[in-house]
Amino acid sequence: MQMTHQTPRVRLDRRTAGELDADLVVVPAFERDTFADVPGLAQASGGEVLAARDRGAFSGKPFESLVVGSQGGGWRTPRAVLVGAGPAASCTTDVLRRVAITGALVARQQRFRRVAVLVRPGTAVPPAEAAQAVAEGVTIANYDGAPLKTADHDPVWLEEAAIAGLGDGEALAAAVARGVVLGEATNQARTLANEPGNLLTPRIFAERGAALATAAGLGVEILDEARIAELRMGLLLSIAQGSHEPPRLLVLRHEPAGAVSNITLGLIGKGITFDTGGISIKPAENMDKMKDDMSGGAAVIAAMSAIARLKLPVRCIGLVPMTENMPGGLAIKPGDVVTSAEGKTVEILNTDAEGRLVLGDALWYARQLGATHLVDLATLTGACVVALGKTTTGLFGRPQTWVDAVLDATKRAGDRAWPMPIFDDYKELLKSEIADFTNTGGRAGGAITGALFIKEFAGDLPWVHLDIAGTAWAEDAKPYQPKGATGVGVRTLVQLAMAAPGWAGAKTA
């Protein structure tokens, strides 16, 4: 198998656009742009930039692009790519990140290895945020989703990326370094989530996660089926029993000296390496996509690794319950009742509602290990895709202060999310005649009842559930997002850990 991603050397560059020495300069272009702050661009392109605008070939609409020659005005770099960034006034950090991805992807398509990204004045984005976002963008662009092709596939990798227009200095350099780590982590998660189910079984997923985590300096433990049974994790075991592949529970620990006192962030990711639905089997159409049903787990592994690399001063525990969901002679059946590690009983009405089951035992275990604040990430429900579509993650939780802290993190990360209600009324839908509750509440409010099931295992802790069923996988290629796994949630979790002193209301020990 070939490589899926490489990290370019990213640095700040003080030179003007004309002096930059690269294969391609990426220039964000705003709507009705005159490029007054980019001296020489009009001449450099031999008038092509303004001519294209006048004939309506390029208007600066978000993420459209136009490659022009740039030596006419004596630019050192022979070509520029203009990337639409919309109106300057509404150009956010998120837009800038996507502009950088788009420009860097154009560079790779044209088989260039050295880019420079020009950050222009006129937007409200603070310089450090811009530096980090562009560093994230060029790193995220250095990803290849087809490492299993053996013919007619020869990806070009970016080797160098300069960020111009911001100046330099220690704070900006630190922002660039952070951005590179966040971009790399996003790519690690994408690599795992793109992996076919036969090549990423629970045992292999655990090994791969452990290797990434060890390299990042995390504490790592893999609980096997015997240990999982000892802990009486009846929910995780009930899903695993239908498969020949044994389950795993990956436990990652970040315990830095001098951490913010009194808090331990618990991150839990759904790790179903393939979801057939079990005996409540899914239709054949699109079932192949269910290899990405471990995207939440991949995000937790990648985020924990980034948190360790960045040496963030906050204790974190990462938990990923890993199993296949298969039909088979030993599989659980609709109507079966199983007992969770916490002792709660569940009537399984639909074996395809497996994510909430494996997460239930994992949330309980996070509490046993001392977590004080919980976030879980899961490709949990088709209902969430119906409600919010493919670009917005469903966010559920309590109390409001914790919901707000996570929501803020999603904004800084560029992972769009929207709050959903978890009113107690919905709990009735999970009522069982014979057990504490069922595992499905029917079609109405399906994303909400899924969240309410998980909430049963959060105890009294602040808890947020992110339903990434729609956002984990891109069906249509966009200029800034090729088809396949997106790495959604990775940067959110790291941004949340970065903001810990704020939401913890605690002092550093």
Closest listed residue to residue 17, CA positions, set 27, 9, 8: 27
Residue 37 to residue 39: CA distance in whole angstroms: 6
Using the minimum distance from each CB to Zn ion, give the nearer residue, 272 or 332. 272
List contacts with Zn ion (CB under 5 A): 272, 275, 293, 355
DSSP states along 40-56? THHHHTTTHHHHHHHTT
Residue type, 120: R
By a kind-dependent CB cut-off of 5 to 8 A, residue 218 interacts, out of Mn ion, ligand BES, Zn ion, none, with: none
- Residue number with CB closer to Mn ion (136 or 354): 354
Query: Of these partners, Mn ion, Zn ion, ligand BES, none, which one is at the site of residue 501 (CB under 5 to 8 Å by kind)?
Result: none
431 in catalytic set: no
Q: Are 263 and 314 in contact (CB under 8 A)?
A: yes
Q: C-beta of 96: minimal distance to Zn ion in Å?
A: 34
Binding of residue 440 to ligand BES (CB under 6 A): yes
Separation between Cα atoms, residue 186 and residue 180, nearest integer Å: 10
Which residue is closest to ligand BES by CB? 382
Residues at the site binding Mn ion, with contacts judged by CB under 5 A: 275, 352, 354
Query: In 3-state terms, what secondary structure has residue 114?
Result: strand
Q: Per-residue string for binding with ligand BES, 250-289, x by CB under 6 A?
A: -------------------------x--------------
> Quick one: CA dihedral 6, 12, 13, 17, positive or negative?
positive
Residue with smaller CB distance to ligand BES, 42 or 200: 200
**Which of 23, 352, 376, 415: binder of ligand BES (CB under 6 A)?**
352
Q: 383 pairs with which residues across the strands?
A: none
Distances (CA, A) of 19 to 165, 199, 476: 12, 47, 37
Among residues 307 and 448, whose Cβ is nearest to ligand BES?
A: 448
Contact 338, 348 (CB under 8 A): yes
Instruction: Single out the residue of 72, 24, 19 nearest to residue 46, CA to CA.
Output: 72
Give the residue with the Cβ less far from Zn ion, 402 or 453.
Answer: 453
| Shortest distance in whole angstroms from residue 470 CB to ligand BES | 7
Closest CA to 230 of 139, 361, 125: 361
- Cβ neighbors of 61 (< 8 A, separation 6 or more) are 31, 84, 86
Q: What is the CA radius of gyration of the chain?
A: 24
Among 180, 220, 331, 353, binds ligand BES (CB under 6 A): 353
Choosing from 356, 412, 455, 491, the catalytic residue is: 356
Identity of the residue, 470 or 482, whose beta carbon is nearer to ligand BES in the bound complex? 470
Which residue stretch of 121-129, 227-235, 381-389, 474-482 sits at the interface with ligand BES (rule: CB under 6 A)? 381-389
> Nearest approach, Cβ of 347 to Mn ion (angstroms)?
17
Shortest Cβ distance from residue 352 to Mn ion (Å)? 4
When the beta carbons of 245 and 352 are compared against ligand BES, the nearer one is 352
- Asked if 456 touches ligand BES (CB under 6 A), the answer is no
- Is residue 355 at the binding interface for ligand BES, with CB under 6 A as the rule? yes
Using the contact rule CB under 6 A, the part of the chain among 38-46, 242-250, 350-358, 484-492 near ligand BES is: 350-358
DSSP string, 277-299: -TTSPPPSTTGGGGGGTTHHHHH
List the catalytic residue out of 113, 232, 282, 427. Answer: 282
Interface stretch with ligand BES, choices 9-17, 237-245, 246-254, 379-387 (CB under 6 A) = 379-387
249 binds, among Mn ion, Zn ion, ligand BES, none (CB under 5 to 8 A by kind): none
Specify the residue, 265 or 469, whose C-beta has the smaller distance to Mn ion.
469
- Evaluate whether 160 touches 114 at the Cβ level (below 8 Å): yes
Q: For residue 171, what is the DSSP state? A: H
- Distance in Å, CB of 245 to ligand BES, minimum: 17
- In DSSP notation, 407-439 reads HHHHHHHT--EEE----GGGGGGG--SSSSEES
Of residues 52 and 287, the one with the C-beta less far from Mn ion: 287
356 is annotated as an active-site residue: yes
Strands 484-485 and 473-474: antiparallel
Q: Is 382 in the site for ligand BES (CB under 6 A)?
A: yes
**Cβ distance 163 to 12 under 8 Å?**
yes
Least distance to ligand BES from the beta carbon of 295, Å?
A: 9
Stretch that binds ligand BES, among 27-35, 145-153, 380-388, 458-466 (CB under 6 A): 380-388
C-alpha distances in angstroms, 108 versus 25, 101, 184, 244, 434?
13, 11, 17, 42, 59
Residue range at the interface with ligand BES (CB under 6 A); choices 45-53, 96-104, 248-256, 375-383: 375-383
Regarding 293 and contact with ligand BES (CB under 6 A), the answer is yes
For residue 392, give the DSSP letter. Answer: -
264-269 and 315-325 strand pairing: parallel
| Residue 295 touching ligand BES (CB under 6 A) | no
Q: Residues in the site for ligand BES, rule: CB under 6 A?
A: 275, 293, 350, 352-355, 379-383, 385, 440, 446, 469
Residues with a known catalytic role: 282, 356
